[in-house]
Amino acid sequence: MMRRLLTIFLSFTTLGLIAQINNVVVDTDYRLQQGSVDVAINTKDPANVVVASDLNRISVSLDSGATWQKKLILPDNGILGKSELHADRRGRFFLIASSVDQDDDWEASEISGRLITFMSDDKGMTWELVSEIDETSEQPVSNFSSSINVVSGDFYSVWESESGDANNIMFSMASAGKNWSKPVELIHEPANAEPYGLSPAPGASGQVYVIWADEGKIKLDRTYNKGKMWLRNDISIADVTGDFQVPGYAGPAGFPVSATDLSGSNFKGALYITWPQLLTDDQGSEIHFIRSTNKGDSWSRSGRISNPAEGAFQFSPAITVDPATGLLYIAYFSRVGREDNHSDVYLAWSLDGGGSFKQAKINTDPVNTEGFEYLHNGLSLTAFQGIVCPTWISKGEKGSNIISACMDYKDLGIK
């Protein structure tokens, strides 16, 4: 199914001066060689922020990211690789992670390939295992993504599963993070295409979207009955250049990511997608953006929201919509103006549903991603009730640092 185009006049402004954004070291770990970081804000107490990273490490802030406490959760459950954090409307945190069994030396042993879910109802201080999707794959699950509908409390997970020459997209959902449904396969064409950048997104009317890229296209599937029925033909949304390698960044740099507006704003129900677009002759990359206001049936023309590449890479974006205000935020790594393999972190924001953007650099020190074995997710972003928390990974003198730059939206000059 081909998309119809809607025209929006996308504009962006780079701000040179904004209020000082504090960068705080959340955690440091010399063992952290495979990078994954995610962040969530307590919907009952926005000053309570939680960050999850590899090796089962949880960090908790009770003062909007100014100071942090470190927690270690259930290492015998074998978390290995990517983990994702979510917060529901009851003030609980959920962590969904890929898991394999491990021996005492942190080496993978009997591979189980599970997705497991932990829950905390005490602001992230303690955690309990509440559910798992077992036998999701014969290999460790790494190419997975999850989301939450903060209104209904439903969770959604998608991942890739190989079967012969086919690369299947699998889907499961759960209420309150428990009792995951039996995984179902999403039919995508061609079946031997390798999907990447899987991204589930809840709709404002009960529908669920699954977005991914393959064969040079961003594609979308959709269900209105909790995964029982899907579109007969996938919707092709936009042309993409595919994933690509960035020097000094050992992870996916070109994945698309998505978010929906579940707030009560004028843009409620809007679906947003952003991705890095590689320029011709590999002369850098730029961050592109597209939106739909009618449940994915038609889309705006894509537009650039980042600075001109000027031969530099801009990559690995993260996207979120504040469910209380409807403000849209996108964070990404940028090497514009740099001559080494270090990066800056830019935060872009929109007050009009993606019609226009302003952006600013928010890191105080260069971001160093060299030396990691693999980065599942080196940059994360969340927002709630005007609190915005970009969080990223960077190598430091004493190990791998998790850095957060939580701020009030007024720090960005938003009124």
SS (H, E, C) the chain: CECEEECCCCEEEECCCCCCCCCEEEEEECCCCEEEEEEEECCCCCCCEEEEECCCEEEEECCCCCCCEEEECCHHHCEEEEEEEEECCCCCEEEEEEECCECCCCCECCCCCEEEEEEECCCCCCCEEEEEECCCCCCCCCCEEEEECCCCCEEEEEEEEEECCEEEEEEEEEECCECCCCCEEECCCCCCCCCEEEEEEECCCCCEEEEEEECCEEEEEEECCCCCCCCCCCEEEEECCCCCCECCECCCCCCCEEEECCCCCCCCCCEEEEEEEECHHHCCEEEEEEEECCCCCEEECCEECCCCCCCCCEEEEEEEECCCCCCEEEEEEECCCCCCCCEEEEEEEECCCCCEEEEEECCCCCECCCCCCEEEECEEEEEECCEEEEEEEEEECCEEEEEECCEEHHHHCCC
CATH code, domain carrying 23: 2.120.10.10
- Whole-number pLDDT of residue 81: 63
- Whole-number pLDDT of residue 105: 47
- Whole-number pLDDT of residue 19: 67
- Whole-number pLDDT of residue 18: 66
User: The domain containing residue 198 runs over which residues?
Assistant: 4-412
Per-residue pLDDT of the chain (415 residues; tens, 9 = 90+): 444 444 444 666 666 556 679 999 998 876 656 668 999 999 999 999 999 987 678 999 999 999 999 887 655 556 656 789 999 999 999 999 877 655 444 444 444 467 889 999 999 999 998 887 765 445 545 578 999 999 999 999 998 877 666 678 889 999 888 888 888 888 767 766 788 999 999 999 999 999 999 989 999 999 999 899 999 999 999 999 888 889 999 888 999 999 999 999 999 999 999 999 998 876 799 999 999 999 999 999 999 999 998 899 999 999 999 999 999 999 999 999 998 999 999 999 999 999 999 999 999 999 999 877 778 789 999 999 999 999 999 988 878 899 999 999 999 988 7
How many domains does the structure of the chain reveal?
Answer: 1
- Whole-number pLDDT of residue 176: 83
